[in-house]
A and B are shown apart, each in its own frame.
With several copies, the nearest count.
Chain A
Amino acid sequence: MTTTSVSADAGTNNGHAGTARPDATPTTLARALNMGLRASMDRDPKVLVMGEDVGKLGGVFRVTDGLQKDFGEHRVLDTPLAESGIIGTAVGLAMRGYRPVAEIQFDGFVFPGFDQIISQLAKLTFRTQGKVKMPVVVRIPFGGGIGAVEHHAEAPESFFCHIAGIRVVSCSNAADAYFMIQEAISSDDPVVFFEPKRRYWEKTPLDVASHPGSTFSSVIRRPGTDVTVVSYGPSMPVLHAAADAAAVDGRSLEIIDLRTLSPLDLDPVLESVRRTGRLVVVTEAPRESSISGDIAARVTEEAFYSLAAPVLRVAGMDLPYPPSKLEEYYLPDLDKVLDAVDRVLAY
Chain B
Amino acid sequence: MVNQQWIDSLATARGVKERGVTGAGATPAPTSAPSPAQVIAGLKATSGGEDLIQLLTPEGEFTPHPDYPLDLHPDRFPELLKGLYRDMVLVRRFDREGNALQRQGQLSIWVPLLGQEAAQIGAGRAMLPQDMAFPSYREHGVAWCRGIDPTELLGVFRGTEHTGWDPREKGFGGYCIVIGNQVINATGYAMGQRLDGKVGQGAQAEATIAFFGDGATSQGDVHEAMVFAAAYDSPVVFYCQNNQWAISEPVERQSRIPLFNRSRGYGFPGMRVDGNDVLACLAVTQWALDECRSGNGPVLIEAFTYRMDAHTTSDDPTRYRQADEAQAWKLLDPIERVKVHLARTGMADSAFFDEIDAEADELAARFRAHCVAMTVPPPERMFSHIYSEPNHQIDRQRAEFLAYLDGFEDESGDLA
Contacts and interface: CB of A to CB of B under 8 A. Distances in A.
B199 to A, nearest CB: 12
B196 A96 contact: yes
Contacts of B354: none
A52 B249 contact: yes
B195 A98 contact: yes
B223 to A, nearest CB: 8
Given A82-B227, A96-B192, A263-B393, A131 B166 contact: yes
A116 B181 contact: yes
A78 B393 contact: no
A108 B189 CA distance: 24
A123 B93 CA distance: 32
Interface size grouping (class) on chain B: 35 or more
Nearest to B3: A74
B177 A60 contact: no
A56 B247 contact: no
Secondary structure at the A interface, as helix, strand, loop or mixed, is loop
A95 B179 contact: no
B359 interface: no
A57 B248 contact: yes
Nearest to B413: A339
A342 B404 CA distance: 13
B386 A127 contact: no
Report which residue of B181, B224, B319 has the largest number of chain A beta carbons within 10 angstroms of its beta carbon.
Answer: B224
B220 A82 contact: yes
B320 interface: yes
B181 A88 contact: yes
B219 A74 contact: no
A188 interface: yes
Interface stretch (A5-13, A245-253, A328-336): A328-336
Nearest to B236: A92
Contacts of B285: none
A85 B186 CA distance: 11
Interface stretch (B4-12, B14-22, B53-61): B4-12
A326 B382 contact: yes
B38 interface: no
Interface stretch (A192-200, A226-234, A316-324): A316-324
B68 interface: no
A148 B109 contact: yes
B191 interface: yes
A58 interface: yes
Interface string A125-139: 111111111110000
A78 B248 contact: yes
B181 A95 contact: no
A343 interface: yes
B357 interface: no
A109 interface: yes
Interface in B163-214: 163, 165-169, 173-174, 176-181, 184-193, 195-196
Nearest to B198: A96
Contacts of A73: 7, 10-11
A129 B385 CA distance: 5
Contact of A127 (B1, B162, B381): B162
Interface in A135-192: 135, 147-152, 164-165, 167, 187-189
A120 interface: yes
A134 B188 CA distance: 13
A207 interface: no
Nearest to B227: A80
B397 interface: yes
B320 A323 contact: no
Contacts of B221: 84-85, 88, 112, 115-116
A326 B381 contact: yes
Nearest to B224: A85
A91 interface: yes
A88 B319 contact: no
A93 B413 contact: no
Contacts of A111: 178
Contacts, number: 270
B231 interface: yes
Given A80-B227, A80-B231, A188-B389, A89 B7 contact: no
Contact of A317 (B6, B381, B397): B397
Contact of A81 (B246, B386, B389): B246
Interface residues of A, number: 83
B49 interface: no
A282 interface: no
Nearest to B156: A149
B186 A92 contact: yes
Nearest to A58: B319
Contact of B184 (A48, A85, A126): A85
A131 B377 contact: no
Interface in A234-256: none
B254 A81 contact: yes
Nearest to A328: B379
A340 interface: yes
Nearest to B170: A131
Nearest to B160: A325
A92 B192 contact: yes
A108 B178 contact: yes
B196 A52 contact: no
Contact of B382 (A72, A91, A133, A322): A322
B142 interface: no
B188 A150 contact: no
Given A109-B178, A326-B376, A326-B382, A129 B161 contact: yes
A165 to B, nearest CB: 6
A325 B188 CA distance: 33
Nearest to B194: A74
Interface string B98-133: 000000000011000000000000000000000000
8 contacts: A52-B249, A81-B246, A92-B186, A92-B187, A93-B195, A130-B384, A319-B382, A324-B159
Interface of A: 1, 45, 48, 52-53, 55-58, 60, 72-74, 78-82, 84-85, 88-98, 108-109, 111-112, 115-116, 119-120, 124-135, 147-152, 164-165, 167, 187-189, 262-265, 317-320, 322-326, 329-330, 335-336, 339-340, 343
Interface of B: 1-3, 6-7, 10-11, 108-109, 137, 155-163, 165-169, 173-174, 176-181, 184-193, 195-196, 215-216, 218-221, 224-225, 227-228, 231, 246-249, 253-254, 314-315, 319-320, 376-377, 379, 381-389, 391-394, 397, 401, 404-405, 407-408, 413-415
Q: Which 7 pairs show the lowest CB-CB distances between chains A and B?
A: A92-B188, A96-B192, A88-B184, A89-B188, A324-B159, A263-B393, A85-B224
Given A93-B189, A325-B377, 7 more contacts: A52-B247, A72-B7, A95-B173, A119-B178, A128-B163, A131-B163, A323-B155
